[in-house]
Amino acid sequence: MSRRPMMAANWKMNKTVMEAEAYTAALLPRAADADEVDVAVFVPFTCLYQVSAMTQDTAVTAGAQNFYYEDSGAYTGEISAPMLLDVGAGAVLVGHSERRETFGETDDTVAKKTRRAVEAGLIPIVCVGETKEERDSGGMWDKVSGQVRRVIDELEDADGDSVVFAYEPIWAIGTGDTATPEDAQEAIGKIRDLLREITGEDFADGVRILYGGSVKPGNAAEIMAQDDVDGGLVGGASLDVESFVELVEAAQNAVAQTEQTEE
């Protein structure tokens, strides 16, 4: 991996404020040891203020799981980019498949959110991926490339380090059914090639593309060792802090291994 890897926890709709504080307190010293990995935790809005306050000026970035692209107004139930910045968040998940599938987010809203996050100085982790039916019917690349293209169309002159993509095949999320390391590499390599074609070398070489979908301590090392995989977005296995720390360590070991091979 030539890019700095990121290991990101997606807590989804889990944890009280007290649980979030205990987790963060346990994570901070361990994340500081993994100094070649960016560590991020995407937490419910209700814990975001506390987790952001605890992680200011540390090795951990606190992020939200969603936001709306307008800054204020009559959008009942929504949270804006300035509100996320106000509580100290540094990043935000955009277009997670659960948002797309359960809450009807479209490629268009995902693209607008990505653009607003970048403008606001929040790092968007933009999630893309296909369903099992799409994969089985040969429609995987149509779906994924369409999702990526729509986001890039909306971004004007963004740098590769202002946005992160996450390839998360929907059939692998929360199912225990992980993509093989080769499948993850193939899909992420294709996304990078597409980005090279539409945005140029610099963006494509700099942008980080994570893999997500049933990443756990037992399979992380192999997935992280793939050339184009720049880290993981982890749901289930991130809820327990010890298990998430093992994943951060797996990313750190992957860096060490790459350095050794290059020597």
What positions carry a catalytic annotation? Answer: 96, 168
Give the whole-angstrom CA distance, residue 121 versus residue 9. 20
Q: How far is the CB of 122 from ligand PGA (least distance, A)?
A: 18
Q: Which is nearer to ligand PGA, 116 or 216 (CB)?
A: 216
Strand (E) or helix (H) holding 262: helix 241-262
Q: Write the interaction track for ligand PGA spanning residues 164-203; mark x where CB under 6 A is met and - where it is not.
A: ----x----xx-----------------------------
Q: Is 62 in the site for ligand PGA (CB under 6 A)?
A: no
Number of residues in contact with ligand PGA, rule: CB under 6 A? 13
Q: Which is nearer to ligand PGA, 92 or 234 (CB)?
A: 234
Asked whether the beta carbons of 111 and 150 are under 8 A apart, the reply is: yes
Closest residue by Cα to residue 80 from 108, 33, 112:
112
Contacts of 18 (CB under 8 A, 6+ apart): none
Q: Which is nearer to ligand PGA, 65 or 162 (CB)?
A: 65
Q: Is 214 in the site for ligand PGA (CB under 6 A)?
A: yes
Give the whole-angstrom CA distance, residue 192 versus residue 224. 16
Q: Which is nearer to ligand PGA, 80 or 219 (CB)?
A: 219
Exposed e or buried b per residue across 94-122, where buried means at least 16 C-beta atoms within 10 angstroms of its C-beta: bbbbbbbeeeebebebbbbbbbbbbebeb
Under the rule (CB under 6 A), what is the footprint of ligand PGA?
Answer: 10, 168, 173-174, 212-215, 233-237
